[in-house]
Amino acid sequence: MAGVTGHPEGGGGRLVPLAELRRHDGDGAPAWVACDGIVYDVSRSPEWRGGLHRRLHWAGQDLSAELADAPHGRETLERCPRIGRLVESA
């Protein structure tokens, strides 16, 4: 999806510190999640209302490990806008 606004390879991405990801928990802020180093905006997904996905996962976190047990793969997250790449600190 190169060239799409919001995708790191399209020039719209940026480095997202872990602290910033944590602030985007869907509670008065957009809902972001990370997977395999990529931060996605899941705010518009009805599955993430209020920052909680199926009463199991909160937004604002790196869910890379949890995705292995999910009934879907990363392709589901790929449908959401990419914010950028997750980094430990700014």
pTM, full prediction: 0.80
* Bridge partner residues of 39 (DSSP): 34, 84
Q: Looking at the domain that runs over 8-87, which CATH code has it been given?
A: 3.10.120.10
Domain spans of the chain?
8-87
CA separation for the pair 73, 88 (Å, rounded):
24
61 — pLDDT class (breaks 50, 70, 90): very high
Q: How far apart are CA 40 and CA 32, in angstroms?
A: 5
| 3-class secondary-structure state, position 8 | helix
User: For residues 76 and 12, which has the higher predicted lDDT (pLDDT)?
Assistant: 76
Distance of CA 4 to CAs 12, 13, 37, 88, Å?
A: 8, 10, 18, 25
